[in-house]
Structure 1
Amino acid sequence: MGTRKRTCGTGEKDNSLHLSRMGWNSYFQAQLQGCCSDDFLPARVVGVSKNSFRISNGEEEWRAVLAGRLMHPPHGRYPVTGDWVLAADSVIVKVLNRTNALCRGASGTHGKPDALPKREQVIAANLDTVFVVCGLDRDFNLRRIERYLTLVYNCGLNPVILLTKADLHRDPMPFVSELETVAFGVSIHVVSGLDGKGLLPLDGYLSPGQTAAMVGSSGAGKSTLVNRLYGKAIQATGSVSLRIGKGTHTTTARDLIMMPQGGMLIDNPGLREIAFWNDDGGVRAAFPEIENLAGACRFSNCRHMHEPGCRVLQAIAAGEILQDRLDSYHKMKRELAYLSLRQQKRADRVEKEQWKAVSLKIKALKKERRNR
């Protein structure tokens, strides 16, 4: 392992080119002002294990542990793959602010229709593109893709849909046509990890400094696609069950892979649950035709259920929008509304408990003064 070159704060350019190829930019550079020692090195998290992290400065990679004070809020955030950190040798002393983060509600509600996640799970940070990967087999599901799009939009990220396993069909274009009815304005690429069909346009998302992450079901072909894009097998792959049409979790970690195209790619384990955690306009972005029609409804608070003069219901009756599409819209709106209400109640409870603690301290001080 070579000498780690310092690029912190003072404007030294020893390793600036290598860092920029990993996504370092002025946003992260500005965070070094006034908080950086010559002993601190900027590096990017390229892998996370239970008690350690793999970090890289673009020239070398090494393992690091997290400073104890960062393990508990509010002193810092726990690093995830894609984060930029400052390290003192093999200890991460600071996690820099993120440009964005792909997050969801933590898993554990599978098979519980009325259950909602109780905590946030950050999947990856500082991304330029999120590849929503869907196989052209039994994995193809418009409702699931709608949820993925809503999840990505809620995080303020740019989705791109990859339809894998194109080699299974002579003409996959009917799938594209069907998908275009729900994925407005989203780039769609039909690809095959088996024979490399359609992969060349993906190089544009993996240019130097660009970071993309893959999300999709197990068995959708994510790891096979990574291997084909890389040019050799670097990720384990597995077969899909012919009986149930589902894949196995061959990818068990989130590693940031430096690609030959110059950019970086994160191959995530398959997601069984697409649970939301925040609402940042994801439904509006994923269902623009319904939102646009809603503005023409007779009543401003129209729920698009049975109200007279509802432009959305008129579109349903005219066949302009499918009922399944509207049902999906309603389901996600209810889910996000309930989640927002519960989080607000939790925030109010936390604030109430904080004021209760302050009140108890004040009473204790008064009692102490009386007893003097």
Structure 2
Amino acid sequence: MTDNINSHEKNIKGNREQLRQLGWNSYFENMLAGMDAKQNRLARVISVQRNLFLVADGQDEWLCSPAGRITHSKAGDYPITGDWVLTEDIVVTGIIPRRNMLSRGESGTRGSRSGSSVRGQAIAANLDTVFIVCGLDRDFNIRRLERYLTLVYNCGLTPVIVLTKADLHEDPEQFRPEAENIAFGVPVVLTSMHDAAGVEELDRYLENGQTVAMIGSSGAGKSTLANRLYGNDIQATGAISTSVGKGRHTTTARELIRMPQGGMLMDNPGIREIAFHDDGSGIESTFADIQDLAAMCRFADCSHSNEPGCAVLEAVENGQLTAERLASYQKMKREMEYISERRDKSADRVEKERWKGVSMRIKSMMKHR
């Protein structure tokens, strides 16, 4: 009996030091304690390939198929890259509750009001840091950076902005304050494909047990950055079109890569559209400056449109805040409010109420002419 217990403990615990290198920590240990693990083996999902999972335990990698109950589970309960799972032979039998998840609105749903809710698209689970990668070419866009930051904050994750292709400019440092001005307290790192600039700054995020995911547009330089961080070519890279300034989609799958620094790195296919599917507090973190100004407005429910005593509009007038940043904030706030409304109402009902409000405002304006 004792031998069976010891054998069970060996199977389920495995080599904890090797698991820790893959990102295992006390959080997952506590989650595991509340599960019926039986004789299962612990592993982390390295990549998802249709109906198969490539998993690893620090010693071995092998392919698994999902157990029947996992195949028929809800989308949010289906294993994704970065998840910790229980396996029995070559079958995934359970998923350990996630610490966090990076996700976005399904492609094609940005600004859409056709469904009862915007479907989420899972990107990765159990992350420590997200590198928001932006190239210092036509890809550099402050408004897009604001959307990426809001997306990451909505998921409760920690962002780092990585500005690639610094070699394309004589004075790339001019871009750093632009990014820092809209990303309060977020590290901004410049990198170049011709030297090791910025690599040492990023290495610390990839230390033993840490997991980092990279997100950004196609052609932003994510795969080149992965190669620089690894010290060798591990990801295919594509040329940038000189006519439109866009890169090819060189990364087609999400896969965790063991890095020489000791942690894990995940490249991602380029994101064409930054859509939201949740109304988290990300907008408050991204636009902390506007939140601080709003606290000084005369009216608590100030929309910062035309109300008297609006501290936000006053900041725009005196040059403290740009009109473009305020417009970006208001646009995203409307998106978040719409998502929140759709949780409890059908899209049709929301639209009817919205147009009813518009109609009432028009009638009110006509009366006061």
Q: Same fold (TM over 0.5)?
A: yes
* Larger RCO: 1 or 2 (CA < 8 Å, sep 6+): 2
Deviation at 1:250, TM superposition (A): 0.6
Residue 12 and residue 113 in structure 1: after superposition, are their counterparts in 2 closer, same or farther (change >3 A)? closer
1:130-165: per-residue Cα shift (whole Å, max 9, x none)? 000000000000000000000000000000000000
1:85 is paired with a residue of what secondary structure?
Answer: strand
5+ unaligned residues in a row in structure 2: which ranges? 1-5, 350-369
1:319 and 1:76 map into 2 onto residues whose CA distance is 44
| Mapping for residues 58-73 of structure 1, pairs under 5 Å | 58-73=58-73
| Larger fraction in helix | 2
1:275 and 1:76 map into 2 onto residues whose CA distance is 18
Q: Which residue of 2 aligns with 1:53?
A: 53
Q: Which residue of 1 aligns with 2:214?
A: 214
Aligned partner letter, 2:274: I
1:331 and 1:301 map into 2 onto residues whose CA distance is 17
1:22-58: per-residue Cα shift (whole Å, max 9, x none)? 1111211122225344520110000111110100001
Identity of aligned residues (%): 56
Q: Which residue of 1 aligns with 2:149?
A: 149
State the Cα RMSD in Å.
Answer: 2.2
Residue 253 and residue 12 in structure 1: after superposition, are their counterparts in 2 closer, same or farther (change >3 A)? closer
Aligned partner letter, 1:220: A
1:268 and 1:158 map into 2 onto residues whose CA distance is 17
1:29 aligns with 2:36: no
| Mapping for residues 175-194 of structure 1, pairs under 5 Å | 175-194=175-194
1:227 aligns with 2:227: yes
1:283 aligns with 2:303: no
Deviation at 1:108, TM superposition (A): 2.2
| Mapping for residues 67-216 of structure 1, pairs under 5 Å | 67-73=67-73, 77-109=77-109, 118-216=118-216
Name the TM-score, length of structure 2 as normaliser. 0.88
Residue 180 and residue 31 in structure 1: after superposition, are their counterparts in 2 closer, same or farther (change >3 A)? closer
Q: Which residue of 2 aligns with 1:315?
A: 315
1:202 is paired with a residue of what secondary structure?
Answer: helix
Deviation at 1:342, TM superposition (A): 1.1
Residue 339 and residue 78 in structure 1: after superposition, are their counterparts in 2 closer, same or farther (change >3 A)? same
1:80-114: per-residue Cα shift (whole Å, max 9, x none)? 1100000001100101111000011111247x776
1:264 and 1:79 map into 2 onto residues whose CA distance is 18
Deviation at 1:7, TM superposition (A): 9.2
Deviation at 1:118, TM superposition (A): 3.0
1:236 is paired with a residue of what secondary structure?
Answer: coil
1:242 is paired with a residue of what secondary structure?
Answer: coil
Deviates more, 1:173-182 or 1:90-99: 173-182
2:331 is paired with a residue of what secondary structure?
Answer: helix
1:265-312: per-residue Cα shift (whole Å, max 9, x none)? 000100001001112210000000100010100011100000000000
Q: Which residue of 1 aligns with 2:245?
A: 245
Counting matched residue pairs gives: 342
Residue 34 and residue 118 in structure 1: after superposition, are their counterparts in 2 closer, same or farther (change >3 A)? closer
Aligned partner letter, 1:146: E
Residue 13 and residue 130 in structure 1: after superposition, are their counterparts in 2 closer, same or farther (change >3 A)? same
Deviation at 1:262, TM superposition (A): 0.2
Aligned partner letter, 1:339: I
Determine if contact 2:211/2:263 at 8 Å carries over to the other structure: yes
Q: Which residue of 1 aligns with 2:3?
A: none
Determine if contact 1:103/1:123 at 8 Å carries over to the other structure: yes
2:213 is paired with a residue of what secondary structure?
Answer: strand
Aligned partner letter, 2:95: V
1:272 aligns with 2:272: yes
1:220-245: per-residue Cα shift (whole Å, max 9, x none)? 00001101111111111001111011
Residue 299 and residue 76 in structure 1: after superposition, are their counterparts in 2 closer, same or farther (change >3 A)? closer
1:11 and 1:232 map into 2 onto residues whose CA distance is 35
1:108 and 1:13 map into 2 onto residues whose CA distance is 43
2:212 is paired with a residue of what secondary structure?
Answer: strand
Aligned partner letter, 1:276: F
1:157 is paired with a residue of what secondary structure?
Answer: coil
Deviation at 1:343, TM superposition (A): 2.2
2:75 and 2:139 map into 1 onto residues whose CA distance is 42
Determine if contact 2:135/2:163 at 8 Å carries over to the other structure: yes
Residue 139 and residue 76 in structure 1: after superposition, are their counterparts in 2 closer, same or farther (change >3 A)? closer
Residue 115 and residue 132 in structure 1: after superposition, are their counterparts in 2 closer, same or farther (change >3 A)? farther
Deviation at 1:258, TM superposition (A): 0.3
1:201 is paired with a residue of what secondary structure?
Answer: helix
2:113 and 2:68 map into 1 onto residues whose CA distance is 37
Residue 177 and residue 97 in structure 1: after superposition, are their counterparts in 2 closer, same or farther (change >3 A)? same
1:21 and 1:197 map into 2 onto residues whose CA distance is 26
Residue 197 and residue 309 in structure 1: after superposition, are their counterparts in 2 closer, same or farther (change >3 A)? same
2:75 and 2:224 map into 1 onto residues whose CA distance is 40
Aligned partner letter, 1:123: I
Determine if contact 2:47/2:255 at 8 Å carries over to the other structure: yes
